[in-house]
Amino acid sequence: MRGFWPILKREVFTFFVTPLAWVLICVFLLVQGMHFYLLVDHFSNQAEVISDQTPLQAFFGNTVLLYLVLFLLVPPITMRLFAEERRSGTVETLLTAPVSPAAVVLAKYVSALVTYVSMWAPTVLYLVILNRTGPIDWHVASAAYLGVFCVGAGYLSLGLLMSALTKSQFLALILTAMCIMGLFILGVGEFVTHEGQTLHDVCAHVSVWAHMNDFGSGIIDSRRLVFYGSIVALSLFCTTRVVDSWRWGDA
């Protein structure tokens, strides 16, 4: 894994010195701030109504805004990771350096993951604000953030693979968005198919809505962890194979 740290530092630095990074951060925090405000306003107006839903559950998965943010956030983060290097020709320099393909892929993936986590970090302040109005179950909050991390990790690995398959950042963005949307639509099939059918079981297994409902309720199901772990492992393996093939052909 020689060369991992220099590439990781370069990727993180390169992303945060671009206008795209700060545009994404501002848009993300603006949408999440609006999301938080609407939820607080809703629950404050429904204070006397008994509900089995908590603000944490609503924030982490029971509104479409969370998934909209994922659709808009992940593709721009990953689109340039390999596509830009292939377009500009700098990937050839990277491939001739004494660095293994696995180190290159892992460094770029971790840089995207660090960026993703950094964007979510300020939202912890929302929980601090909620805690001042009433006690929060921090174990549930931790499970919810674990869910956000797992979903993001899986989607980012898919985005990295799409970026390695094309020289166009725009095409990489579109392909990543299509993969994420495809998984989401397949998961929605859980609500339109009948229980007991194989298709229903498949849809329920990949449903990000069901996953985040569990995590948002403080339920850490090992099947969810295995699912996203498998997506990450398979995507990184395929990306490594693609990068390794560049040594023997046209990058």
Q: What is the percent of the chain with per-residue pLDDT over 70, rounded to a whole number?
A: 92
- Asked whether residue 47 is domain-assigned, the answer is no
Question: What is the average per-residue pLDDT within 207-235?
Answer: 89
- Asked whether residue 48 is domain-assigned, the answer is no
pLDDT confidence bin for 204, thresholds 50/70/90:
confident
* Range name among 49-53, 86-90, 151-155 with the lowest pLDDT average: 49-53
- Comparing CA positions, the residue from 112, 111, 124, 113 lying closest to residue 32 is 124
Count of CB atoms within 10 A of residue 198's CB?
Answer: 8
* Range name among 68-82, 84-98, 134-148 with the lowest pLDDT average: 84-98
Would you state the pLDDT for residue 176?
92
Would you state the pLDDT for residue 50?
47
Contacts of residue 173, defined as CB under 8 A and 6 or more positions apart, other chains included, come to: 75, 76, 79
Instruction: Tell me how far apart the alpha carbons of residues 87 and 155 are, in angstroms, rounded to a whole number.
Output: 23
- Asked whether residue 45 is domain-assigned, the answer is no
Instruction: Tell me how far apart the alpha carbons of residues 181 and 38 are, in angstroms, rounded to a whole number.
Output: 25
Query: Is the pLDDT confidence value at 99 over 90?
Result: no
pLDDT confidence bin for 229, thresholds 50/70/90:
very high
Query: Is the pLDDT confidence value at 47 over 60?
Result: no
Query: Is the pLDDT confidence value at 64 over 80?
Result: no
- Asked whether residue 73 is domain-assigned, the answer is yes
pLDDT confidence bin for 114, thresholds 50/70/90:
very high
Structurally, how many domains does the chain consist of?
1
Instruction: Tell me how far apart the alpha carbons of residues 165 and 162 are, in angstroms, rounded to a whole number.
Output: 5
Helices (H), the chain: 4-16, 19-45, 55-59, 64-78, 83-88, 90-96, 101-120, 124-133, 138-164, 169-188, 198-206, 208-216, 222-245
- Asked whether residue 116 is domain-assigned, the answer is yes
Instruction: Tell me how far apart the alpha carbons of residues 58 and 213 are, in angstroms, rounded to a whole number.
Output: 9
pTM recorded for the entire structure: 0.89
- Asked whether residue 229 is domain-assigned, the answer is yes
* Range name among 60-69, 77-86, 171-180, 214-223 with the lowest pLDDT average: 60-69
Would you state the pLDDT for residue 53?
63
* Range name among 60-69, 181-190, 192-201, 209-218 with the lowest pLDDT average: 60-69
More confident residue, 33 or 109: 109
Query: Is the pLDDT confidence value at 94 over 50?
Result: yes
- Asked whether residue 29 is domain-assigned, the answer is yes
* Range name among 82-91, 139-148, 173-182, 206-215 with the lowest pLDDT average: 82-91
Question: What is the average per-residue pLDDT within 56-70?
Answer: 73
Q: Which domain holds residue 106?
A: 4-40+54-248
Would you state the pLDDT for residue 163?
92
- Asked whether residue 24 is domain-assigned, the answer is yes
Instruction: Tell me how far apart the alpha carbons of residues 141 and 210 are, in angstroms, rounded to a whole number.
Output: 17
* Range name among 58-62, 118-122, 152-156, 227-231 with the lowest pLDDT average: 58-62
Tens of pLDDT, residue by residue over 124-140, are 888 888 777 777 788 88
